[in-house]
Amino acid sequence: MKRFLFVALLSVALLGFSGAGKLFAVMQVWEGWGNFGIFGEPEPEVSMSACDAMDITAVDAIGFVYHRVSDRARNATHIGWRWRIDEGPDPTFLGQPKQDRPVSIHLIFEPPESRGSYSEWQLWLSGFPKEAHVLTYVWGSANAPGSIVVNPYHERGRLIVLRNGLGGYGNWQSERVDIRGDFENLFGKPFEELAYVVVSSDTDDSDSVAKVLLRDIFFEDGEGERFSPCGSEEDS
């Protein structure tokens, strides 16, 4: 995806590349959420009205909105949200050299013994560590819903198609995913701690437009209690 494949952090969350970092712009969108843009590439317009609600418009653009989760959320068993796509690029199959998607949600994990080692500056400047496990939930590919693809650029990444781009645009859809179950089933190892949640939109290869609304993001613990993504990092 143009220079997207050759830059740091959140490109790694999407495609898994862990090469040298490039210059980019970082800004705060809402308390606890930052907007990551790649130098030289148009960035999506991102607006937030609350810590669990964002609107994204990407015009021939690529960009990421990221959040380092609270201590309580590090061991969440589920994450959920509502989303709507009003416009998006023509769907392509995951794993192709050029693959635009209107929206993906990435969960980036780190082992408990490495807690805090994946700092934002490390991610921005030098790319994501090769040992990181990443689950990416996709709406907008040509793959059938339920498809799981090994990230071709990151061995420890899995792309999970919740909804493809062949229908459903213009309607609100609700999701609740078992991140603990997905992690253990897909990686074959005990659950690690969640470190970051990242939302991306990508239309640069197809020179197209994506309009995405995301609402009511929540985490859920093992007791079934739901809580906001925007608790403090010391929340427990």
What ranges do the domains of the chain cover?
2-227
Mean pLDDT of 196-217: 94
pLDDT of 170 reads 96
The letter for the amino acid at 164 is: N
User: Which one-letter DSSP state was computed for residue 81?
Assistant: E
pLDDT of 125 reads 53
pLDDT of 137 reads 97
pLDDT of 181 reads 98
Instruction: Say if residue 166's pLDDT is above 90.
Output: no
**Out of 77-81, 114-118, 207-211, least confident range:** 114-118
Tell me phi and psi for residue 13, to 5 degrees: -60, -35
pLDDT of 234 reads 46
Mean pLDDT of 77-91: 96
Instruction: Say if residue 12's pLDDT is above 90.
Output: no
Beta bridge partners of 220: 78, 226
Instruction: Say if residue 67's pLDDT is above 60.
Output: yes
Tell me phi and psi for residue 213, to 5 degrees: -120, 135
List all residues 6 or more positions away from 141 whose beta carbon is below 8 Å from its beta carbon: 91, 92, 93, 94, 99, 101, 147, 159, 161, 164, 165
Instruction: Say if residue 109's pLDDT is above 80.
Output: yes
pLDDT of 108 reads 92
**Out of 44-53, 125-134, 185-194, 210-219, least confident range:** 125-134
Instruction: Say if residue 105's pLDDT is above 90.
Output: yes
Tell me phi and psi for residue 157, to 5 degrees: -115, 145
Residues 222 and 77 sit within 8 Å (Cβ to Cβ): yes
Residues 18 and 127 sit within 8 Å (Cβ to Cβ): yes
What is the pTM assigned to this prediction?
0.86
Query: What percentage of the chain carries pLDDT values higher than 70?
Result: 80
**Out of 3-17, 131-145, 164-178, least confident range:** 3-17
Structure-token pair, residue 142: 């040509």
CATH class in words for 2-227: mainly beta
pLDDT of 183 reads 98
Residues 159 and 148 sit within 8 Å (Cβ to Cβ): yes
Beta bridge partners of 201: 63
pLDDT band at 231 (very low <50, low <70, confident <90, very high): low
